[in-house]
Amino acid sequence: MAPLLVLLVVTALARLVGWLGDIGPLDSWARAAALGLAAMFLLTGIAHFQQPRRDALIAMVSPRLPNPATLVTVTGILELAGALGLLIPPTSALAAAGLALLLIAMFPANVRAARAGVGVKTMPLPLRGLVQLVFLGATALVIFG
């Protein structure tokens, strides 16, 4: 739930600052969403490397996939790189597209966690799916906004 809150709060604050301060780079929902997503992926990317969250993320990876610890490390690096890319206007749409693909690729781990009761146990599967759609909507706003 923390990633969703970070996304919503940072996006809303960035948009408010852009509107109140007449700050051009923040005076659009797409740029505000890019900042919100960057903050969110910074939070989630760091979690891939800190205990106890790292072990919970590793537990979510399907046993059919090789080397879950390496996969968690790689996805953490991709999330951090994507967060950085979102902050650079010329690369923000590409970063958002890459992060959207990453969200889709990682969603089966969320399904597995919800069904098997392993890993990060923050919300039931229908709510996880809805939150995932919010994340994907934010990436679409950055890509097409």
Q: Which amino acid is at 8?
A: L
User: Is the entire prediction scored with pTM above 0.85?
Assistant: yes
pLDDT tens sequence across 77-102: 999 999 999 999 999 999 999 999 99
> Is pLDDT at 55 greater than 90 in this prediction?
yes
> Is pLDDT at 22 greater than 90 in this prediction?
no
pLDDT tens sequence across 39-53: 999 999 999 999 999
117 backbone φψ class: left, alpha, beta (φ>0; ψ -120 to 50):
left
- Which pair of tokens denotes residue 54? 């790292």
**pLDDT of amino acid 9:** 98
- Structural domain span for residue 81: 2-144
Structural contact between residues 91 and 142, judged by C-beta atoms closer than 8 angstroms: no
CA 142/CA 41 separation, integer angstroms: 14
**pLDDT of amino acid 27:** 79
CA 32/CA 4 separation, integer angstroms: 15
> Is pLDDT at 75 greater than 90 in this prediction?
yes
In whole numbers, what is the pLDDT of the chain averaged over residues?
Answer: 94
CA 116/CA 4 separation, integer angstroms: 23
> Is pLDDT at 26 greater than 90 in this prediction?
no
**pLDDT of amino acid 13:** 95
**pLDDT of amino acid 25:** 78
The alpha carbon dihedral of 114, 58, 97, 80 has a sign of positive
**pLDDT of amino acid 68:** 96
Q: How many domains does the chain have?
A: 1
Q: How far is CA 45 from the centre of its chain?
A: 8
Contacts of 120 (CB under 8 A, 6+ apart): 53, 56, 57, 60, 113
**pLDDT of amino acid 48:** 97
Of 28 and 118, more confident: 28
> Is pLDDT at 24 greater than 80 in this prediction?
no
